Structure 1
Amino acid sequence: MEIPLRVHICLVGFEVERISKAALERKADRVYLITKHKDDKGRVFFDKNKEILEKHNVEVIGKFIDDIVLEDILKVTKEIIKNENTENTIYINISSGSTLAAISGMLCSMMYSTDKRIIPYYVKAKDYLDKTKNEDKEKITEIMGKNYGGTPPITSGILAISDILTFPMSLPSNELLIFLKEIQKEKDGISISALIEFSKTDDNIAKFRELTKRNDIKESSQKTKQSEYAWINQNILKKLRDEWELITIEKRGRNHFVKINEKGEKMLKYLC
């Protein structure tokens, strides 16, 4: 049996103690440091934090993203969480990097809290460079900047580390997301009959179809076209359109076509 680990995730900003010292105080076993592929100014802080953590025998894994945007941060954070053992406790440092890191950390904490033990935390620094008097700021920049490629850390010291309370977030079921991804493939919309055929051929949906049809007291023992339309409308389309507002349905001639809307596109971008 594997020993549960304390796993930390942090987007690297222009900071050191708020990242590595906080992880050490929380007795981290493994730390994921997220940074840009090409970031001349920020890379020195990635290297410094990595050096400090490894000196204390902490496993460090670098994760590199193309840009500091919400989609990229969410994607890499979700991958880390999904790949970690369910027995491990995952801590997400939401204080370093940017506001986007905080948003991503909180979203992931709430999205996966039912499957994994995830704790977002905030590190309050003792001193902030932008709150320092101008004359002192110049001295700090000159002295500290020499060690960090000309850019000093924007904070120093740790005053407190606080866990952030989260609540489970309601999300569309996996089955709904599978259908939403299929709908997304057809930019001009997909017919309901095509979605019915998809539901019969996709292995991930097979058990869902069987379960919902078994529990549907209105389901006829004879498989008719009408019953298939009733099933997909009740179990998929109504939920995607009315409950989640992720699709639109429009009539063209005698047929109805389903299209993903902007909210649906964003939902897939953030969740899948």
Structure 2
Amino acid sequence: MASMMFNDDKNVNPFYVEAKEYLGFSGKSISKGIKDIEYIPTYEIQKPEDRHIQALKIIVDSGGRISKKEMAKIAVEKKLIIVNAENESQATFASLDKGIISALENQWGFVKVNKIGRTRWIEITDEGKHASEFLI
């Protein structure tokens, strides 16, 4: 599966080798020779865009929870979102919502947004924790 997920150049061919002979369980190698090689069909397994992975890392590095305000500030600093508008504050949050949070929450299920008082918190989900283990 990893070869399908990270094979951007299409130069990896997953395969399964069937042993020619099985020697049993004597503590030594249990197979000998090659009987047949079966090529496994490949399927495109998508991964999040780099900016989404970087955003997930920011959340993980913040202990799995970060305010939207702090996330917006870091996202601008790291150029994950670009804001060119008169009302920079409002445009920043709109860009963060549309470009980062929406995909992480709705497409990937890696985060959820909760409002506590006046603050909106971005929290990593169990799915996001699992994905961060191999994406980051």
- The TM-score with structure 1 as length reference comes to 0.47
Q: 1:166 and 2:54 equivalent? A: no
Alpha-carbon RMSD: 1.9
Mapping 1:108-147, distance limit 5 Å: 108-130=2-24, 141=26
Instruction: Encode CA deviations 1:147-186: one digit per residue, 9 max, x unaligned.
Output: xxxx221112221122222122111100001001101122
Quote how far apart the aligned CAs of 1:209 are: 2.7
Q: 1:193 and 2:69 equivalent? A: yes
Quote how far apart the aligned CAs of 1:116 are: 5.0
Q: 1:209 and 2:84 equivalent? A: no
SS in structure 1 opposite 2:58? helix
Does the CA-based 8 Å contact 2:20-2:35 persist in structure 1? yes
Does the CA-based 8 Å contact 1:186-1:259 persist in structure 2? no
Higher RCO, 1 or 2 (CA under 8 Å, sep at least 6)?
2
Structure 1 segments unaligned to the other structure (5+ residues): 1-106, 131-136, 142-150, 214-218
Does the CA-based 8 Å contact 1:249-1:257 persist in structure 2? yes
Mapping 1:1-272, distance limit 5 Å: 107-130=1-24, 141=26, 151-187=27-63, 189-202=65-78, 206=79, 208-210=80-82, 221-272=85-136
Q: What is the alpha-carbon distance in structure 1 between the residues aligned to residue 76 and residue 100 of structure 2?
A: 14
Quote how far apart the aligned CAs of 1:233 are: 0.7
Matched AA of 1:119:
N
Does the CA-based 8 Å contact 1:183-1:189 persist in structure 2? yes
Quote how far apart the aligned CAs of 1:188 are: 6.0
Q: Which aligned runs of 4 or more in structure 1 are off by greater than 3 angstroms? A: none
CA shift in 2, pair 1:176/1:188, >3 Å: closer
Q: What is the alpha-carbon distance in structure 1 between the residues aligned to residue 122 and residue 64 of structure 2?
A: 9
Does the CA-based 8 Å contact 2:18-2:35 persist in structure 1? yes
Quote how far apart the aligned CAs of 1:200 are: 1.7
Q: What is the alpha-carbon distance in structure 2 between the residues aligned to residue 175 and residue 235 of structure 1?
A: 9
Which is greater in Rg? Answer: 1
Instruction: Encode CA deviations 1:75-100: one digit per residue, 9 max, x unaligned.
Output: xxxxxxxxxxxxxxxxxxxxxxxxxx
Does the CA-based 8 Å contact 1:184-1:259 persist in structure 2? no
| Structure with the bigger percentage of helix | 1
* Identity across the alignment (%): 26
Matched AA of 1:224:
E
Structure 2 segments unaligned to the other structure (5+ residues): none
